[in-house]
Amino acid sequence: MSEENSTTWSAGAGVVDSVAGFVDSLTAESEGEGVDVIDVALGGAGMVVDLVATAANPLGMLASAGVGWLLEHVDFLREPLDALLGNPDEINANTDQLKQAALEMKMIAQEHREDLRAVADWEGDSGDAFRREMEQMAGEYEALGKSMDGTAAIYALSGALVCELRSLVFGWISDLVGELIAGALIAAASAVVTLGSSIAAFAGFAGTRAAMMATKIAARLSKLASAMARFGGRMAQLAEKMEGLVKGLERFAEYGGYAKTAYDAVKPYEMPAATT
């Protein structure tokens, strides 16, 4: 089995660099997902996920502008907004929990390295064996912390992608609605002269424009769904790494149990909602 697919305690001191490289690679891939879905790369892993107001509805502008009759022809544009709601508070809370667990693992690694300095004068085979074990344990905890950090980063990036696409779609719909309101007001003003035909004609035009917009949005939602599947695959790979590290740490009964408890508490979360 290749190192890319499995990391266990037997990997020795090199496990830290190996896992760090693996996590950095997956994180970089995740940051690049934005280029295809929202036209720009996602920000750094330390981001806080934000979202245009969940309750906001650009279609509401039609009613407030006095052209509510147009809603029945473009109301289907509400569906992609609902599909991209997301939950920023939950995403940020889960990300923070993962980061806190990662910090605890790193602190344990630091404690074990400090223990090594305390026995620097311990000579002989037993002293050498103790130092090897402590260094190996420290490396494994550090690698576990790095894996948890990577999981937090990728989870946050996936949530940010959902939220950023919603913001983009919100902007597109808002621009379209603004354009349609101007035309609808003209059509309504001409209704008396044209015996209502101006309204019927514009309603058909608005429906066509909205359908074109829906097709454009659907293409982005399809790309998002593919990206989310890839995010899920990366999270699964990190989960496999963490499970291997935790299994190896079980040879140190007390500390291994603590690592298992920490991992169970922050196992990869489900991807943020993104339906098509």
0.85 exceeded by pTM: no
pLDDT tens, position by position, 87-110:
777 888 888 888 898 898 888 888
Q: Give me the helices (H) in the chain, please.
A: 15-31, 33-38, 60-64, 71-74, 78-83, 88-118, 125-189, 191-194, 197-249, 253-265
Query: Measuring CA to CA, how many Å separate 21 from each of 28, 119, 147, 179?
Result: 11, 31, 10, 49
Confidence of residue 6 (pLDDT cuts 50, 70, 90): very low
Q: Which residues contact 181 (CB under 8 A, 6 or more apart)?
A: 61, 62, 65, 67
Q: Give the per-residue pLDDT at 258.
A: 55
Closest CA to 198 of 33, 31, 69, 15: 69
The pLDDT > 90 percentage for the chain reads 35
pLDDT tens, position by position, 156-196:
899 889 888 988 999 999 999 999 999 999 888 887 567 66
Comparing 64-78, 158-172, 200-214, 261-275, the range with the smallest average pLDDT is 261-275
76 compared with 6, residue with greater pLDDT: 76
Confidence of residue 12 (pLDDT cuts 50, 70, 90): very low
Mean pLDDT, residues 128-146 taken together: 83
Comparing 120-124, 179-183, 234-238, 265-269, the range with the smallest average pLDDT is 265-269
3 state SS for 83-138: HCCCCHHHHHHHHHHHHHHHHHHHHHHHHHHHHHHHCCCCCCHHHHHHHHHHHHHH
pLDDT tens, position by position, 209-253:
999 999 999 999 999 999 999 999 999 999 998 888 888 877 765
**Could you state, in order of their start, the residue ranges of all structural domains in the chain?**
12-43+62-265
Q: Give the per-residue pLDDT at 38.
A: 92
Confidence of residue 25 (pLDDT cuts 50, 70, 90): very high
**Residue 192: burial class (beta carbons within 10 Å; 0-12, 13-18, 19+):** exposed
Topology adopted by domain 12-43+62-265: Substrate Binding Domain Of Dnak; Chain:A; Domain 2 (1.20.1270)
Q: Give the per-residue pLDDT at 2.
A: 40
Whether pLDDT at 4 is above 50: no
Q: Give the per-residue pLDDT at 259.
A: 59
